[in-house]
Amino acid sequence: MKKVEAIIKPFKLDDVRAALSDIGIAGMTVSEVKGFGRQRGHTELYRGAEYMVDFLPKVKVEVVIADADVDRCLEVIVEAAQTGKIGDGKIFVTDVARVIRIRTGEENEDAV
């Protein structure tokens, strides 16, 4: 099993969720996060004073899926989240050693 973490622009969340749902991935965790990479941040004006916003709002989507589904999952996330502009985000894929569904005690693929 793999854990796929995608850091995307907030306005792309609905597109990514729908795309994942279309390929049969129903369970996911979504978190509002802040960060920056090459995008660096931007300046804003508040009550006449200009200040630097270093951390930009992003959304982190996490899914745990079977190894066989990883490539298709990555494809649909990229297609749905890509704008072609700086700050589109990143996707991280890591191994998952074990999963347990607390309610039933099911493990691994059965728990996902």
CB atoms within 10 A of CB 57: 11
CA gap 110, 79 in Å, rounded:
28
Amino acid 108 reads N
pLDDT at 26: 83
Considering only CA atoms, which of 98, 81, 82 is closest in space to residue 2? 98
- 7-66 tens-digit pLDDT: 999 999 999 999 999 999 989 999 999 887 776 666 666 677 766 667 788 999 999 999
Question: Domains of the chain: which residue ranges?
Answer: 2-110
Fold (topology level) of 2-110: Alpha-Beta Plaits (3.30.70)
